[in-house]
Chain A
Amino acid sequence: MKSLDNITKQNHKTLTVSKMQKRIIKKILLVLLPLLIITANSVNAQKAPEFSNKILPDDKTYFYFVADRLEYYSIEGLNPLVADVQGYIGKDYNKFWFKAEGEFLTAEKEGEMEVQGLYSRPLTAYFDLQAGLRYDLAYSNTGNNSRAFAVVGLQGLAPYLFEVDGSIQVSDEGDLSGSFEGEIDLLVTQRLVIQPRFATSVAVQEVEEFGVGSGLNNIQLGLRLRYEIKREFAPYLGISWNRKLSETADLAKLEGADVSVFGVVAGVRLWY
Chain B
Amino acid sequence: MKKEESKTTKKISRRTFFRYSASIGAVAGMSTILPAYAFAGFKDRDVLEPSGAENVLNLSISEIPIKIDGKKSKAIGINGTVPGPLIRLKEGEDVLLRVTNELDEDTSIHWHGIILPFQMDGVPGVSFDGIKPGETFEYRFPVTQNGTYWYHSHSKLQEQLGHYGPMIIEPKDKDPVEYDREYPILLSDWTFESPYDVMNNMKKMDGYYNFQKRTFGEFFKDVSEDGFVSAFKNYTSFGRMRMSATDLADVTGATYTYLMNGRGPESNWNALFKKGEKVRLRFINGSAGSTFDVRIPGLKMTVVQADGQNIEPVSIEEFRIGIAETYDVIVEPKEEKAFTIFAESLDRSGFARGTLAPKEGMAAAIPVLRPRPVRSMKDMGMNMSEMNMDGMKMDGMDKKEPAMEGMDHGNMNHEMAGMSEMNSEPVKHGPDRHGLGAAAIADNQYNRLHEPGIGLGNDGRKVLVYNDLKSLEPNIDERMPEREVELHLTGNMERYMWSFDGKEFNEVKGPIEFTQNERLRLILVNDTMMEHPIHLHGMWMELENENGIYNPRKHTLLVQPAQRISALVTPRDKGRWAFHCHILYHMEMGMFRVVQVSDKNGGIYE
Contacts and interface: CB of A to CB of B under 8 A. Distances in A.
Interface string B482-502: 000000000010110100000
A126 B203 CA distance: 14
B490 to A, nearest CB: 10
Contacts of A174: none
B504 A159 contact: no
B125 interface: yes
B46 to A, nearest CB: 26
A159 B592 contact: no
Interface in A169-225: 186-191
Question: Which 5 pairs of residues, A with B, have the shortest CB-CB distance?
Answer: A58-B590, A55-B125, A44-B606, A124-B396, A59-B506
A188 B217 CA distance: 7
Interface string B116-146: 0111100011111100000000001100000
A13 interface: no
Most buried by B among A56, A59, A189, A191: A56
Given A92-B495, A271-B205, A126 B510 contact: no
Given A51-B511, A125-B439, A157-B494, A57 B215 contact: no
B172 to A, nearest CB: 21
A52 B117 CA distance: 20
A56 B395 contact: no
B55 interface: no
Contact of A125 (B140, B214, B492): B492
5 contacts: A46-B128, A49-B126, A59-B506, A157-B494, A159-B242
B228 interface: no
B559 interface: no
A110 B588 CA distance: 49
B507 interface: yes
Interface in B160-214: 199-201, 203-205, 208, 211-214
Contacts of B494: 125-126, 157
A49 B216 contact: no
Most buried by B among A44, A59, A64, A271: A44
Contacts of B606: 44-45
Interface stretch (B233-241, B325-333, B447-455): B233-241
Contacts of A161: 239, 242
A47 B509 CA distance: 21
Contact of A55 (B124, B201, B397): B124
Given A51-B594, A124-B395, A125-B494, A58 B126 contact: no
Contact of A58 (B396, B505, B510): B505
B236 A160 contact: yes
A54 interface: yes
Interface residues of A, number: 38
Contacts of B507: 53
A229 to B, nearest CB: 13
A187 B214 CA distance: 7
Contact of B200 (A53, A62, A191): A62
B240 A187 contact: no
Give the secondary structure class of A's interface.
loop
A52 B125 contact: yes
Contact of A44 (B125, B126, B156, B605): B605
Given A58-B504, A124-B395, A231-B201, 6 more contacts: A43-B140, A48-B128, A56-B588, A57-B588, A125-B440, A160-B236
A49 B511 CA distance: 13
B436 A122 contact: yes
A127 interface: yes
A125 B506 CA distance: 18
A79 B200 CA distance: 37
Given A161-B242, A187-B215, A55 B126 contact: yes
A58 B498 CA distance: 9
A22 to B, nearest CB: 26
A44 B215 contact: no
A61 to B, nearest CB: 11
B306 to A, nearest CB: 29
Given A46-B119, A49-B128, A159 B495 contact: no
Interface in A58-110: 58-59, 62, 64, 92
B357 interface: no
A225 B503 CA distance: 39
Contact of A48 (B204, B505, B576): B576
B217 A189 contact: yes
Contacts of B140: 43
Given A58-B504, A92-B504, A190-B215, A126 B576 contact: no
A271 B204 contact: yes
Interface in A227-272: 231, 271
